[in-house]
Amino acid sequence: MQIYYKTDVGLMRRNNQDFCLCEKVSDDLAWAAVCDGMGGANGGNVASSEACKEMSRVLSEELKPDMNDGDLEQLMEKAVVSANTKVYEMSCFDDSLSGMGTTVELAVVSSGTLHIVHAGDSRVYRITSDMIDQITTDHSLVQQLVELGQITQEEARFHPSKNYITRALGVEPTLETDYFAVPFNKGDIVLMCTDGLSNYFSNEELLEAVRAIKEKEEIAQGLVDIAKECGGSDNITVAILINE
């Protein structure tokens, strides 16, 4: 298992409100968390960093190599709930942080399975030898319009309301999340990213971009560079997990 990640402020923002933490626990157990913060002059920075750090704390204390799928799902949900409570309480007790929140992607790869807990519009993709699979579905206004048949997925990429998300960690006392578990076979790649990357690519274009980067350890940096070449209008974060 190999992990690579990169976060960049981009070309248009003064502060980086994205945050990412990753850890390889053993040859077949690793985790990564990607958050895209929002709210106030520094609230987004605090929300994303504190959420990642709290999830890291829970996982470092309780994640074990021999956990079954059910126990692993419960632990991941526990980590996200704990992060939600921490960020929400911080926003309640500090006026300068009021209303802050963050997207959350928490992925754990264990014994050939990719587990994901998701809320917001950051994304997780699985890339195999011949395809890319967007595992998560955006919790956003434009995605709701797509599901209602009012706009196409292509139109959603350029919709003026594409930044309005319908779920975020830390905004309310409780958080509804999505959980996924999919096979993660030898040679597969997990790509986690904030919308500073995904806004510039269709799924097929993203697959082509990954394939064009010859060295796997350069994928994260290479995708950040491409996003900046496309405009770099937002913070950009990419985490890559490779099942070697």
* Domains of the chain by start residue, with CATH: 2-242 (3.60.40.10)
Copy the structure tokens of residue 127.
């890339």
- pLDDT digits (tens), the chain, 244 positions: 999 999 999 999 999 999 999 999 999 999 999 999 998 657 999 999 999 999 999 999 999 998 999 999 999 999 999 999 999 999 999 999 999 999 999 999 999 999 999 999 999 999 998 899 999 999 999 889 988 998 887 787 778 777 789 999 999 999 999 999 999 999 999 999 999 999 999 999 999 999 999 999 999 999 999 999 999 999 999 999 999 8
Q: What are phi and psi of 37, to 5 degrees?
A: -80, 165
- To 10 degrees, the CA torsion angle through 81, 87, 93, 97? -150
| Angle, helix 69-93 to helix 43-62, in steps of 10 degrees | 150
3-state secondary structure of 35: strand
* Single pTM value for the model: 0.96
Residue closest to 102 by CA, chosen among 9, 31, 165? 165
The pLDDT value given to residue 41:
58
139-to-145, 167, 169, 240 alpha-carbon distances in Å: 11, 6, 12, 22
Residue closest to 97 by CA, chosen among 87, 83, 107? 87
| Cβ contacts of 100 within 8 Å, gap of 6 or more | 37, 38, 39, 40, 43, 44, 46, 47, 87, 90, 91, 170, 171
Strand partners, 181: 115
The pLDDT value given to residue 227:
97
Rounded Cα gap, residues 217 and 2, in angstroms: 9
Residue closest to 239 by CA, chosen among 4, 2, 49? 4
CA end-to-end distance (rounded Å), the chain: 6
The pLDDT value given to residue 129:
87
Strand partners, 113: 110, 183
The pLDDT value given to residue 40:
64
Rounded Cα gap, residues 15 and 32, in angstroms: 22
